[in-house]
């Protein structure tokens, strides 16, 4: 597998992470509304997904530069 193919694979991972993050954000908002708390719920899973998304973007960028 060359770096271009690996970059495409990472893009797929990144899309999955983005969709999961959006879903978790919606669940966090629903939890905040249910509890009527003064603070917004922010799950550790959401934080992890955001960090993984940033990592996938960095890896994809790196792999794209290696392919040229």
Q: Which of the 8 DSSP states describes residue 66?
A: H
CA distance 36 to 47: 22
Question: Containing domain of residue 10, as a range?
Answer: 3-66
**Predicted structure pTM score:** 0.66
Domain tally for the chain? Answer: 1
Handedness of CA 31, 47, 9, 67 (dihedral sign): positive
Q: What share of the chain has pLDDT > 70, as a percent?
A: 90
| C-alpha to C-alpha distance for 10 and 62, rounded to whole angstroms | 11
How many whole angstroms separate alpha carbon 33 and alpha carbon 20?
Answer: 20
Q: Rounded to an integer, what is the distance from CA 30 to the centroid of its chain?
A: 19
* pLDDT above 70 (res 37): no
What average pLDDT does the segment 35-55 reach? 79
């Amino acid at each position: 597998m060359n770096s271009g193919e690996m970059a495409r694979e990472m893009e797929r991972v990144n899309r999955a992470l983005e969709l999961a993050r959006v879903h978790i954000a919606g669940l966090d908002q629903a939890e905040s509304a249910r509890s009527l708390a003064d603070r917004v719920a922010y799950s550790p899973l959401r934080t992890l997904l955001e960090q993984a998304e940033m990592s996938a973007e960095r890896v994809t960028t790196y792999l794209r530069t290696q392919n040229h």
